[in-house]
Chains A and B, each alone.
Chain A
Amino acid sequence: MTTPMLPRLLTHIPQKRTLWRDAARSFLKNRLATAGLVVVAIFIIMAVFADVLAPTPYYRSVLNDNLQYPSARHLMGTDQVGRDLLSRIIYGTRTSLVVGFAVQAIAFAIGLPLGALAGLRSGWVDFIITRLLEVMTAFPGFLFAIFLMSILGSGLGNVILAIGVTSWIEVCRLTRGQSLALREREFVVAARSYGADDWRIVFRQLLPHALPPLVIMLALGIPSAIFAEAGLSFLGVGINDPIPSWGKMVSESLGYIRVYWYLGLFPTLAIALAMLSFNFLGDGLRDALDPTMYNV
């Protein structure tokens, strides 16, 4: 009875279990999250290889071909100045993703150091940063982004700046909380006792510990930045022509929508698909990385 057990125990060497490997396994079991990951990957490919994938350049307009319904030649039709809608949607992916990632870069570049500083130093540094957080929360977020755009003027760089400046608050609050909780832990006290400075503690102790919630925040921050860009462009204070933006395409379609329905349909589908896939990916990461978290 016991003899067949032995060889099995010897041959079956379990893989090393880590937080990330466990998370990857439970993530892949989650069908919605995996679907989200696949769609996000497709969007990234579209953004990177837009020059190859798009049938025509995004700025090429053939005025004789304007407002053509979807056909074999123009799969999604053409817009009011005769530009191929499919090409503009493919290039629009690039705009959305650039904004999504760049905004998160700004948010983390501001929020992470400030939050770590507030949590580790406490005292007057913490007091000032906490007040700053309070004030930034009091600002009606999206109104403030619109307001900033009116000051900065429209354009891709300014869109990134305006959304970035309004979205570091959550990162800062999270990092502050994590460092506050970590500050009194034995290994941090030990590190301090042999003379580690703040930066060493941030990189060697805080970041590895706070990485799961920060990754979740990053994953869910990208779609909200994409949403904000689409929103600003929809309101007419976002991306400038001729750079394609899904939000701007939706707002331009409003004048033609009664007859040229496809002008409104395809960009909105692109926005919805991007939002859903990124959100499913983020939710899946959250469930996989933090099983204790409530799935509110």
Chain B
Amino acid sequence: MGRYILGRLGGLLIAFLLVSIITFLLMHAVPGGPFDELKQPLPPEAKANILRKYGLDRPIWEQYLRYMWGAIHLDFGIPFQSPTETVTELIARVWPPTLQLATVVILLSYSLGMFFGIIAAIKQNSWIDHAVTAMATLGFAIPNFVVGIWLILIFSVTLHWLPTGGWGQPENYIMPVLVYSAAPMAMVARYTRVNMLESLRADYVRTARAKGLTERTVIFRHILKNALIPLVTVLGPQIPNIATGSIFIEATFRIPGLGRYFVTSTYNRDYPMIMATMLLAAFLWGITYLISDILYTVIDPRVRLTGRGNP
């Protein structure tokens, strides 16, 4: 177990370093930058001064090492788009809206998704099952900003019930949460349904029924427990996607969150902010991957990570 985790950590660290190197190199490989002559004509002395101040006149490997040394100490530099604060402060300021939204979305979509998946599996081939499958297909195929526009057209433009966007009021949550939950909920429902259907046909379920257990006990104690275990590996890695990836939702509903600032930082070629967001996303991805793998072995004693002892 310990060796496995160390090995995985090593692999993640290498992947993480490569992500940082590739991002860093790509950003510096292209001519043009935040201090382009076109945008701000500067005397050469002033430009050299600025470049020196931000360390942009050093060789590339030195810039990278300096940057990573700072990043380890949570110092990601100063964002070009708002030079009065540090990148860490900017992220601390703009991440909360994204996180608040993500928390609501994860709770709602995972619980509702499991609920619908279970119902669909128990009542297989009923209208509920078909409705869940249809919803899941739609939730997957249609981009969330498209659904967002439709909700705005219905609830804001036609019915005048909700504001078209903005942040800070409780009613600002309703449409973003609805839109943002659709895809994860669809995915959870589909996986739950398939896993449930598999366990429904398992031998131990037949045994449980033969013992004369009530349907409720069979479903909750025997089927659900086994059907939900594989979900851990599917759901875990989704969390960082949801926590960092609400870019479309934030653009559609004008939410001042991390995704929105990531997009503005690409307009402005704000290297420190871009770099920090990419590292943050890769870091979260790696950690949740590792945690969900470990969690899997804790929940399901049949799974052994090293494979020693069993075939």
Contacts and interface: CB of A to CB of B under 8 A. Distances in A.
B157 A134 contact: no
Interface in B1-55: 11-12, 14-16, 18-19, 22-23, 26-27, 29-30
B162 interface: no
Interface of A: 131, 134-135, 138-140, 142-144, 146-152, 223, 227, 230-231, 234-237, 250-251, 253-254, 257-258, 261, 264-265, 268, 271-272, 275-276, 279, 283, 294, 296
Nearest to A259: B157
A235 B153 contact: no
A134 B11 contact: yes
Given A268-B150, A296-B194, A143 B245 contact: yes
A296 B191 contact: yes
Nearest to B265: A150
Contacts of B282: 138-140
A43 to B, nearest CB: 15
B266 A237 contact: yes
Nearest to B190: A296
Given A134-B15, A140-B282, A271-B143, A150 B152 contact: no
B252 A254 contact: yes
Nearest to B289: A138
Given A231-B143, A272-B146, A275-B142, A251 B251 contact: yes
A35 to B, nearest CB: 13
20 contacts: A138-B18, A138-B286, A139-B19, A140-B245, A140-B285, A143-B244, A143-B262, A147-B23, A223-B141, A227-B143, A230-B143, A235-B251, A235-B263, A250-B145, A251-B251, A257-B152, A265-B149, A275-B141, A276-B142, A279-B140
B245 A142 contact: yes
B199 interface: no
B248 interface: yes
B277 interface: yes
Nearest to B165: A254
B153 A264 contact: yes
Contact of A275 (B22, B143, B240): B143
B141 A276 contact: yes
A149 to B, nearest CB: 7
B235 interface: no
A237 B251 CA distance: 13
Interface of B: 11-12, 14-16, 18-19, 22-23, 26-27, 29-30, 137-138, 140-143, 145-146, 149-150, 152-153, 156-158, 164, 190-191, 194, 240-241, 244-245, 247-248, 251-252, 262-263, 266-267, 269, 274, 277-278, 281-282, 285-286
Given A140-B245, A144-B278, A147-B266, 12 more contacts: A138-B282, A139-B282, A143-B277, A143-B281, A235-B251, A253-B149, A257-B152, A261-B157, A261-B158, A264-B149, A268-B146, A296-B191
A121 to B, nearest CB: 22
Which 7 pairs of residues, A with B, have the shortest CB-CB distance?
A150-B266, A140-B281, A138-B15, A279-B141, A268-B146, A135-B18, A264-B149
Nearest to B145: A234
Nearest to A251: B251
Contacts of B138: 276
B260 to A, nearest CB: 10
Contacts of B278: 139-140, 143-144, 147
A134 B13 CA distance: 12
Nearest to B29: A151
A148 B22 CA distance: 11
Residue of B19, B143, B277, B281 contacting most chain A CB atoms (<10 Å): B143
A265 B153 contact: yes
Contacts of A134: 11, 15
Contacts of A283: 137
Nearest to B187: A296
A237 B194 contact: no
Nearest to A283: B137
A146 B16 contact: no
Given A140-B245, A147-B274, A257-B149, A236 B143 contact: no
A209 to B, nearest CB: 27
Contacts of B19: 135, 138-139
A196 B201 CA distance: 47
A107 to B, nearest CB: 19
Nearest to B264: A236
Contacts of B16: 138
A34 B164 CA distance: 37
A201 to B, nearest CB: 31
B149 A268 contact: yes
Contacts of B263: 146, 235-237
